[in-house]
Structure formats: structure tokens, C-alpha cells
Amino acid sequence: MNTTPHRNNGNDHLIELKGITKVYGMGSVAMHALKGIDLSIDKGEFVAVMGPSGSGKSTCMNILGCLDTQTEGTYLFKGIDVGVLSRDERALLRRNYLGFVFQGFNLLNRTSALENVELPLIYRGVPARERHARAREALAAVGLTGWETHTPGELSGGQQQRVAIARAVVIEPEVLMADEPTGNLDSKSSREIMDLLSAFNVEHGITIVMVTHEADMASYARRTIHFLDGIIDTEVNNGGGGVQ
């Protein structure tokens, strides 16, 4: 079986969830984290995901990011049924098509900004010279030219998140999964990070799915999806965000 996702035709969704459930545990202690989620995301969209703790939004993001699997239902990525892929095949999909940005930055503390950005290219087996060049380009794209040799401890929180974004986009992903990307930042740095994510979405066509607790950050997205008690409670069209 060829598990490399094929290209969409104009009528297909990039991501589609159909009747997704997720149950942890069994019997009387079973916890139903997701209760039949239907969701579609098109190429170039910017989607914000909101909801209180325990609402299912993080579980849904983990499934979208191939970090977890559903109990029932179907997850299609570019028309491929992710549920039938092996663990190794899901890892390849994640490595080749998905970028991740986290609230806690997840940078290697004793490693320079340039080396942090190079990491996903190392996993791909990209030769050193090309790897260095692409990492420098990614750092320039997030406004960190001249900071290549600095370690995370020598950077502000906003700069660390810029390095994390550069690391995520250096592989030119189809989708960027952002989990509370402004959660550890002040308001000024938060706006700068959101402007940066918006630019990658609009100018480079990267689809963005972002979990956030902050309504003003969610307003950057085209759509806001609200989770509650394991279901999608509401969807709001923000009237902006995303590739037009």
C-alpha cells in the first residue's frame, strides 16, 4: 500500500474527521473524551480551537497531529485514512506534512537557535550545507537574523517562540499545529507571534490549526471552533484569517 498522501482535487478537504470518538479506560471508569466529532478543514484555512479544560480540544488536536489515535470514526488527511496507517507510517506523515508549535517552546536548552531549527531536517536526512542554509532562511523569516548562535537562555520568550516557529516551518509543512502558542507571552509578544503566524498562513499557504484560551488571539483565525464536553458546541466564522 502506498501511504503517501495524494494531492487533493479541488473538491476535497485537506483534513476531515467523521464520527471521531476517543475513550480512555474501560467499563465504569471509561472516560469519553470525544463523542462523535465531525470536522473539515480546507487547505489554507486558519482555524482556532477553544474550550474549557476537559472539553476534548487537546484530544482532538493530538489525533489531528497523529500523536494519538481515535477509538472510532475516520480521520482523512489529503484523502488518506490515517486510522489504517501503522505507527511508523503515522510518524512519517507527521514528519513530512505537519509542523508543531507549543506553549512551552520545547527548544533544546544547550543548543543554538540555528541547531534547534535544523533538528527536523536532520531527521529527514538533509545534507549539512542545505540544512544550514534552510535553517538560516527560516530564522530570517521570523526576524531572527543575527541570533543564530544564541541559545534559548539568551533569548526572550517571544524570541524563543520565533525559533520554535522557524523550526516548525523549515520543513515547509502542509499544516502547522499550534498549541497555545502565546500562552507564555506578554501581550506585545503575543500579537507579534500571531502576526507572524498569519503571515505564514496568507503568504505561504500553510494551513494553521491553533488551540487557544484567548479570544483576541482566536480572532486572527478565519473560524473558531468551540469544544464542550467532548463535542463541537459551536463554530463561528470570524470573517478573516486564512488564504483568500
- In degrees, to the nearest 5, what angle opens at C-alpha 62 toward C-alphas 71 and 14? 90
Residue 9 or 150, more confident: 150
- pLDDT value for 6: 40
- pLDDT value for 181: 94
- pLDDT value for 8: 39
Q: Are 63 and 56 in contact (CB under 8 A)?
A: no
Q: Identify the residue whose cell numbers are 502542509.
A: 174
* pLDDT per position as a tens digit, 150-200: 999 999 999 999 999 999 999 999 999 999 999 989 999 999 999 999 999
Residue 85 pLDDT more than 60? Answer: yes
Measured in whole angstroms, the distance separating CA 5 from the mean position of its chain's CA atoms is: 18
State which amino acid sits at residue 125: G
Residue 4 pLDDT more than 80? Answer: no
- pLDDT value for 146: 95
| Nine cell digits for residue 23 | 475513550
Contacts of 195 by beta carbon, 8 Å cutoff, 6+ apart: none
Q: Can you give the residue ranges of every domain in the chain?
A: 15-237
Centre a 10 Å sphere on the Cβ of residue 191 and count the other Cβ atoms it contains.
Answer: 16
The domain covering 15-237 belongs, at the CATH homologous superfamily level, to: P-loop containing nucleotide triphosphate hydrolases (3.40.50.300)
DSSP string, 203-235: HH--EEEEE-S-HHHHTTSSEEEEEETTEEEEE
| Mean residue pLDDT across the chain | 91
CA–CA separation, 99 vs 39, rounded Å?
20
* pLDDT per position as a tens digit, 10-29: 457 999 999 999 999 988 88
